[in-house]
Amino acid sequence: MIRILNMRITPNQNDSLNRLIKVCVLDNPSDRPTMEEIVQFLNGEIEYFGYELREMERLENVRLEEEQRKKDECRRKLRNRLFCGLC
C-alpha cells in the first residue's frame, strides 16, 4: 500500500533545499558534501556544509584584506599630506 503525504515546503525549507542542490552539483567533486553531511544537514545537525564554511572564510579574508588595503592607502595619503605641508 502506498501512502501519499501532502507535504508542503515552507520558504525556509525551500532555501535549505536550494542550498543542498547547489552544493551537490559543484564542479569540483571534492567540494561536494558526503552522504553523511547531507543526512546531518537534513536532520538539522549541521547548519553549513564544509564548502560553504570554506567559502565564507575565503570571503571574510578578502573583506579583511580589502579593509587593510584601504587603511594603508589612507595612511599613505595622510603621510603625503603631512610631508607636503612641511615643504
pLDDT tens-digit readout, 26-58? 999 999 999 999 999 999 999 999 999 999 999
Q: Give the residue-averaged pLDDT of 67-86.
A: 84
Domain extent for 72: 12-85
Whole-structure pTM over 0.75, yes or no? no
Lookup result for grid cell 558526503? 34
Q: Note whether residue 59 is domain-resident.
A: yes
Non-local (6+) Cβ contacts of 25 within 8 A are 32
Q: Note whether residue 5 is domain-resident.
A: no
Q: Note whether residue 69 is domain-resident.
A: yes
Q: Note whether residue 73 is domain-resident.
A: yes
Q: Domain count for the chain, please give it.
A: 1
pLDDT score for 2? 55
Rounded to an integer, what distance in angstroms lies between the CA atom of residue 15 and that of residue 54? 20
Q: Note whether residue 2 is domain-resident.
A: no
Q: Note whether residue 1 is domain-resident.
A: no
Q: Note whether residue 81 is domain-resident.
A: yes
Q: Note whether residue 7 is domain-resident.
A: no
